[in-house]
Amino acid sequence: MAGEQVDGTRPDAVTAEELAAAGLLLEIDGAVATIALNRPERRNAMTFATWRALAKIGRSLPAEVRVVVLRGEGKLFSAGIDLSMFSGGGEGFSDGADRAATDAFIAELQQGYTWLRDPRYVTIAQVHGHAIGGGFQLALACDIRVIADDARFCMKEPALGLVPDLTGTKPLVEIVGLNRALELCLTARTVEAAEAHRLGLAETVVPAAELDAAVADLTASLLAVNAGAAVATKRLLQEAPENTLEEQCAAERREQIGRLREMFGGAGKN
Ligand code: CAA
């Protein structure tokens, strides 16, 4: 991949040491940031440091970034949480005894996922091979999933006695509906690429050898659209499920006024 290797020159940027400790690669090439999960020998299992670093990346991306691609190095996207986190391997692990502390701990980790909804970016999960547990939820946190025909998703948490808590339950239910989400989570079964596509868990499925090219094509198409319109439209679409028709019509008017002012120089009397 071409691009600038992030080296911490911005004061708030994630440092090369933090990225390495988190098992991440970050490349920024103009309007495109590519984040790679980079612990292939651990099947890109993610640690608490991974999620903290993801959150920091989200807080510090340069203003020119418009598209964020998340991908995995090696044979698969991600095996989810590094299981050593449950055996004392994770800094700050909270066992739930202190409710408030555990709530704050999980909230901090969730920030590694929530920023992917930010209207400033269109976020793409480029998934090949397994996306398990926290890895599945990472893909669900993205706006668009482009997957290889060998991709497979599994919400493993209930099988381990836990619940999915990395922001995945809301998009899962929104995409597949409550009943299917229940079935997927409570059987912890693996959904193969073709079914994932059918359920709406992937926008595009391509042969594995064509995955990079498919994501590159999508990225180019996204960047061809006016930047301000992209941000405003994502914000508008995100509001739609919660809004009444009346509220959504008002939201459309509000966003369009912003666009008209920007495009045609309306100074804004009010
Ligand atoms: N955590 C830590 N190490 C992991 C790991 C994980 N989640 N997944 C794989 N590894 C390690 C293996 O222990 C193995 O290490 P060694 O070489 O030292 O033996 C190495 O990665 C390669 O693993 P496999 O030989 O199993 O690789 P594979 O390609 O045959 O299989 C796999 C890949 C299907 C992902 C399989 O490794 C697997 O099922 N892993 C566990 C998945 C899992 O249960 N994840 C937790 C989900 S729950 C969650 O994410 C959220 C939560 O909060 C609970």
Domains of the chain by residue range: 16-223, 227-264
CA 39 – CA 6 distance, rounded (Å): 18
CATH fold, domain 16-223, is: 2-enoyl-CoA Hydratase; Chain A, domain 1 (3.90.226)
- Checking ipTM against 0.85, whether it exceeds it is yes
pLDDT of amino acid 176? 98
Residue nearest to atom 42 of ligand 1 (CA): 79
Residue 132 CA, closest ligand 1 atom number? 47
Look up tokens 């679409």; give the residue: 237
- Ligand 1: distance of its center to the CA of 52 in Å? 20
Half-sphere exposure of 12 (CA within 13 A, CB side): 9
Along the 270 residues of the chain, how does pLDDT read in single tens digits? 344 445 445 778 899 999 999 999 999 999 999 999 999 999 999 999 999 999 999 999 999 999 999 999 999 999 999 999 988 767 778 788 899 999 999 999 999 999 999 999 999 999 999 999 999 999 999 999 999 999 999 999 999 999 999 999 999 999 999 999 999 999 999 999 999 999 999 999 999 999 999 999 999 999 999 999 999 999 999 999 999 999 999 999 999 999 999 999 866 667
Top mutation candidate among 43, 46, 137 for ligand 1, by most atoms within 8 Å of CB: 43
CA 64 from chain centre, in angstroms, equals 19
The residues lining ligand 1, judged by C-beta closer than 6 Å to any ligand atom, are 42-43, 45, 75, 79-84, 130, 132-134, 156-157, 160, 162
**What single letter denotes the amino acid at residue 187?**
T
CA 170 – CA 163 distance, rounded (Å): 13
Surface-to-core class of residue 195, CB atoms within 10 Å of its CB (0-12 exposed, 13-18 middle, 19+ buried) = middle
Say if domain 227-264 classifies as CATH 1.10.12: yes
- Ligand 1: distance of its center to the CA of 130 in Å? 10
- Ligand 1: distance of its center to the CA of 269 in Å? 59
Read off the pTM.
0.95
